[in-house]
């Protein structure tokens, strides 16, 4: 297996120790696999907690910090975090104004976050849950009832995080998170599978001239397999699927994420963004954009496009300062 690791079962903990060493502003509980912003809980502020299986870095631990998440729970690779862990994160960030859980729609994540929310309620912490299910490729996939949560998670976490930083109420933050998810659609294509440290071999097989269209971020099957096509046609296919699920109007203002799945070089992501911009760009519809590796699938060679039809308020919150390892601006 070609990986920079020591032992497969220590990868998540050792990477979290590295995150802690690189980012002293974060408080990292390596044993419990919880990343918390250093000044949590912030009194009177709604806390934001997300989490999920590891292997999608920088999501979620890399999005902890002022203006975005208050805490993230890292499960083992491609495995949900557990309820006790989520409860501990929820307690750590509860500043008295309640906590929002941002949960990608995978069955294990949904169940464990729900159980943690019930445990938190027993401790008198009010929790609201924002479910992210932006992937328009398939319904009811390997680990999902309904649509999968993927690239839009970054946009939900950024915008809801900015609103929470302004002191908005629990209901307002949760409603904004849900609205961003509702306004978002994603579609992914893989050219080569990822390999988990535990398995040591690729999660699926693709012929040398094939791509997986509509792939999930754990390598779950997409809509079909077909011959590799030029970037322009791949982008057109992704945008068609997005448009079919959530139509893009002529006067929409969009946040567009062209996201790498881990093994795709940045030069190709910018080339893909050029195709997206050419296809969508007339009339300045792309109001904001992000190009890079944000929601990955270990070393998968692939990319996803996420389009959010943003309100003025969403754009304002997108522009608000953020200080995390993975997203940072002012």
Catalytic residues: 56, 218
Task: Tell me the two tokens of residue 322.
Answer: 């953020």
By CB under 8 A, residue 4 contacts a copy of itself: yes
By CB under 8 A, residue 213 contacts a copy of itself: no
By CB under 8 A, residue 198 contacts a copy of itself: no
Q: Print the binding letters for residues 262-291 with a copy of itself: x by CB under 8 A, - otherwise.
A: xxxxxxxxxxxxxx-x---x----x--xxx
Q: Which is nearer to a copy of itself, 22 or 43 (by Cβ)?
A: 22
Task: Give the footprint of a copy of itself on residues 60-89 (CB under 8 A).
Answer: 62, 77
Q: Which is nearer to a copy of itself, 173 or 235 (by Cβ)?
A: 235
Q: Which is nearer to a copy of itself, 43 or 207 (by Cβ)?
A: 207
Please choose, out of 13-21, 36-44, 134-142, 166-174, the segment that lies near a copy of itself by the rule CB under 8 A: 13-21
CB of 244 to a copy of itself, least distance (A): 22
Q: Which of 74, 252, 223 is nearest to 147 (CA)?
A: 223
Residue 58 preceded by cis peptide, ω within 30: yes
Task: Give the footprint of a copy of itself on residues 311-330 (CB under 8 A).
Answer: 325, 328-330
Size of the site for a copy of itself (CB under 8 A): 60
Q: Which is nearer to a copy of itself, 98 or 325 (by Cβ)?
A: 325
φ, ψ for residue 271, nearest 5 deg:
-60, -40
Q: Print the binding letters for residues 16-55 with a copy of itself: x by CB under 8 A, - otherwise.
A: xxxx-xx-------------------------------xx
CB-based contacts of 166: which residues, under 8 Å, 6+ apart? 320
CB of 205 to a copy of itself, least distance (A): 13
By CB under 8 A, residue 201 contacts a copy of itself: no
Please work out, in degrees rounded to the nearest 5, the angle formed at the alpha carbon of residue 181 by the alpha carbons of 279 and 240.
25
CB-based contacts of 284: which residues, under 8 Å, 6+ apart? 253
Q: Which is nearer to a copy of itself, 182 or 268 (by Cβ)?
A: 268
CB of 231 to a copy of itself, least distance (A): 5
Residue 41 preceded by cis peptide, ω within 30: yes
Please work out, in degrees rounded to the nearest 5, the angle formed at the alpha carbon of residue 34 by the alpha carbons of 28 and 39.
55
Pairing between β-strand 210-213 and β-strand 184-192 as defined by DSSP bridges: antiparallel
Instruction: Render 190-220 in DSSP notation, one character per residue.
Output: EEE--B-TTT-SBSS---TTEEEET--TT--
CB of 191 to a copy of itself, least distance (A): 4
CB of 258 to a copy of itself, least distance (A): 8
Pairing between β-strand 286-292 and β-strand 254-260 as defined by DSSP bridges: parallel
Rounded to 10 degrees, what is the CA torsion of 192, 194, 195, 198? Answer: -160
Give residue 235's Cα distance to chain centre.
Answer: 20
Identify the three-state secondary structure at position 170.
helix
Task: Tell me the two tokens of residue 9.
Answer: 């079962």
Q: Which is nearer to a copy of itself, 41 or 263 (by Cβ)?
A: 263
By CB under 8 A, residue 231 contacts a copy of itself: yes
Q: Which residues bind a copy of itself (CB under 8 A)?
A: 2-7, 11-12, 14-19, 21-22, 54-55, 57-58, 62, 77, 191-192, 208, 228, 230-232, 234, 262-275, 277, 281, 286, 289-291, 293, 296, 298-299, 301, 303, 325, 328-330
């Amino acid at each position: 297996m070609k990986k920079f690791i020591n032992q497969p079962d220590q990868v998540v903990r050792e990477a979290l120790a590295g995150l802690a060493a690189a980012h002293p502003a974060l408080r990292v509980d390596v044993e419990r696999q919880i990343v918390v912003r250093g000044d949590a809980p912030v009194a009177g502020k709604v806390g934001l907690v997300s989490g999920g299986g590891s292997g999608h870095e920088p999501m979620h631990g890399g999005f902890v910090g002022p203006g975005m998440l208050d805490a993230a729970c890292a499960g083992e690779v491609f495995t949900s975090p557990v309820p006790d862990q989520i409860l501990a994160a929820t307690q750590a960030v509860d500043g008295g104004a309640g906590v929002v859980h941002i949960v990608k729609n995978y069955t294990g994540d949904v169940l464990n976050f729900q159980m943690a929310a019930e445990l938190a309620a027993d401790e008198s912490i009010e929790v609201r849950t924002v479910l992210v299910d932006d992937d328009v490729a398939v319904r009811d996939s390997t680990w999902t009832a309904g649509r999968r949560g993927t690239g839009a998670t970054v946009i939900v976490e950024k915008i809801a995080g900015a609103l929470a930083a302004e002191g908005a109420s629990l209901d307002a933050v949760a409603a904004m998170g849900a609205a961003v998810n509702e306004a978002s659609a994603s579609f992914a294509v893989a050219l080569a599978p990822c390999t988990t440290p535990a398995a040591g071999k690729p999660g699926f097989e693709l012929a040398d001239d094939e791509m997986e269209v509509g792939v999930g971020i754990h390598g779950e099957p997409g809509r079909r397999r077909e011959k590799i096509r030029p970037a322009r046609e791949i982008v057109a296919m992704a945008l068609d699927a997005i448009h079919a699920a959530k139509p893009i109007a002529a006067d929409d203002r969009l946040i567009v994420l062209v996201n790498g799945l881990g093994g795709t070089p940045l030069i190709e992501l910018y080339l893909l963004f050029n195709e997206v911009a050419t296809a969508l760009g007339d009339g300045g519809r792309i109001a904001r954009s992000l190009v890079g590796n944000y929601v990955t699938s270990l070393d998968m060679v692939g990319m996803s496009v996420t389009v959010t039809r943003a309100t003025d308020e969403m754009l304002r919150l997108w522009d608000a300062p953020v200080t995390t390892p993975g997203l940072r601006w002012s």
